[in-house]
Structure 1
Amino acid sequence: MLEWLAQIEPLSHKCWIALGWLGFVGLLALLTHYATPRGSEFVRKVVHIGTGHIILLAWWMQIPAWVGIGASIFFSLVSILSYWLPLLPSINNIGRRSWGTCFYAMSIGILVAWFWPLGLPQYAAIGILVMTWGDGLAGLLGRQYGRRIYYLWGSKKSWEGSVVMAVVSTIVTLAILLPTAGNHWQSWLSAVVIGLCAATLESFSKLGLDNLTVPVGSAAIAYGLMQVLA
């Protein structure tokens, strides 16, 4: 009993830190909502980019897998309910039908369940941060500066946004692989391949499905390549 309590006490501190970060992101989104005329899409990207960094906190604080999986299930259910109840109006009101918020929460749980038991949280971080920064910046910059438009699977995309997705995803992957796997050609080649694959997966974004396929696909490709090329 005493051993169990000794384990729970530091875990509660870690959870409060994680909740504090999510609270900060929520506050920032609220301030952005009232301070900018850009509309709900910009607020959604603030939440999108800010929330993804929870994976780094979980990795750094070594939060147990069951906590991450439980949080993923909880936020997935909240996001589903928000489509019928006004729980997340600034996030889900984006002018198109999308399950992206739910898929985003699900992807975190899937990657934690996959890579935490293996002792390889860096691959979960690659998947989530590729989605966080790659898709986040591709959406913002593509919407503002995209001029060369193409349509894929009923989704409107720009080549400028896809290029941003590929470049940012490559940089994010390198930022994680270089310190964890080493500065060698395998890391660089894997990062470039992941960037191209992430941009391709992001193109198929009907109903927000890319919020699941991009992080899970990027993490799987990173893990597979590093195993094969090692």
Structure 2
Amino acid sequence: MMQVSEMQLSILFVVAFLLLILITEWLHKKLHVDSEICRKFLHVSGGFLTLLFPLFFKSYLWVLLLCTLAFTILLATRILGKLSSVHQVRRKSIGSVIFPIPICICFWVSENLNNTLLFHLPVLVLSISDTFAEIGGKKWGHTSMRFSGGKTLIGSIFFAASCLVISLFVFSIGSSLNIAQQLFFSLIITLCATLTESVSFKGLDNLTVPIVVLLVLTSLEKSIL
């Protein structure tokens, strides 16, 4: 069977990322899908794409290269006023631009500690929980208590619920913890991540939330292996 090099895999990931960007732009410009929805589409699909990194890459350098390229594209399009499907949102946010940074950091730590759970859990929380928080906050947030910076109580509840489910799922398939331990550690992660998300503004939660989840996991690593 022909072996595929990491360089070839990197090219495939670049093509996949560019394809996601093209789909996002097509949804926005041709089907007139709201930019907030388009941005979330790229957020979730891009996050799920990166979940494949530990499966295909053994060298951190290729992931660093991919994340640097993605960051450069997102930053350049923001500065140049391009990619309106992602950057033309109704609030000031740098979340989309900094999205590749925690991906790179989490992969580096998980590779050095030889534990892919340290990558998958933060990235899943980043990709899914942030989206659930925004959906819940926009749909029902006008009737709930608001925090400074536009965060809502209902948004935080949606974030916490999804984070708890994700943590339980990842621990159930990626650790040797019993059910009680899975619940205990999942609650710790959910509490820390939710508090971090509620005080992170202008899209900084795309960086702070996965890093906090990673820090909690590394502090608990000996217990969850």
Bin the TM-score by the shorter chain. Answer: 0.7 to 0.9
- 1:150 and 2:146 matched: yes
Note the aligned Cα RMSD (angstroms).
Answer: 2.3
Sort the Cα spacing of 1:63 and 1:125 in 2 relative to 1 into closer, same or farther, 3 A.
same
**TM-score where L is the length of structure 1:** 0.85
- The amino acid across from 1:206 in the alignment is F
Q: In structure 1, what is the equivalent of residue 101 of structure 2? A: 106
- 1:187 and 2:187 matched: no
- Whether the 8 Å contact between 1:55 and 1:125 is mirrored in structure 2 is no
Match of 1:139 among 134, 137, 158: 134
Q: In structure 2, what is the equivalent of residue 225 of structure 1? A: 220
Sort the Cα spacing of 1:63 and 1:166 in 2 relative to 1 into closer, same or farther, 3 A.
same
- Whether the 8 Å contact between 1:18 and 1:57 is mirrored in structure 2 is no
- Whether the 8 Å contact between 1:100 and 1:211 is mirrored in structure 2 is yes
Identity over aligned residues, as a percent?
Answer: 22
Sort the Cα spacing of 1:145 and 1:31 in 2 relative to 1 into closer, same or farther, 3 A.
farther
Q: In structure 2, what is the equivalent of residue 92 of structure 1? A: 87
- 1:164 and 2:169 matched: no
d(CA) in 1 for partners of 2:98, 2:18: 20
Q: Deviations over 1:151-184 (max 9, x none)?
A: 23xx111211111101111111222221111351
d(CA) in 2 for partners of 1:25, 1:191: 31
SS in 2 for 1:168: helix
Q: In structure 2, what is the equivalent of residue 175 of structure 1? A: 169
Match of 1:39 among 28, 34, 43: 34
SS in 2 for 1:95: coil
Q: In structure 2, what is the equivalent of residue 66 of structure 1? A: 61
d(CA) in 2 for partners of 1:195, 1:24: 33
Sort the Cα spacing of 1:24 and 1:145 in 2 relative to 1 into closer, same or farther, 3 A.
farther
- The amino acid across from 1:25 in the alignment is L
Q: Deviations over 1:60-79 (max 9, x none)?
A: 22352111111112222222
Deviation at 1:133, TM superposition (A): 0.1
Deviation at 1:102, TM superposition (A): 2.4
SS in 1 for 2:93: coil
d(CA) in 2 for partners of 1:191, 1:31: 38
Give the paired residue count: 222
Sort the Cα spacing of 1:18 and 1:176 in 2 relative to 1 into closer, same or farther, 3 A.
farther
- Whether the 8 Å contact between 2:167 and 2:186 is mirrored in structure 1 is yes
Q: In structure 1, what is the equivalent of residue 205 of structure 2? A: 210
Q: Deviations over 1:65-102 (max 9, x none)?
A: 11111111222222222232033222111122222122
SS in 2 for 1:150: coil
Q: Which runs of 5+ in 1 are unaligned?
A: 1-5
Deviates more, 1:209-218 or 1:108-117: 108-117
Deviates more, 1:38-47 or 1:143-152: 143-152
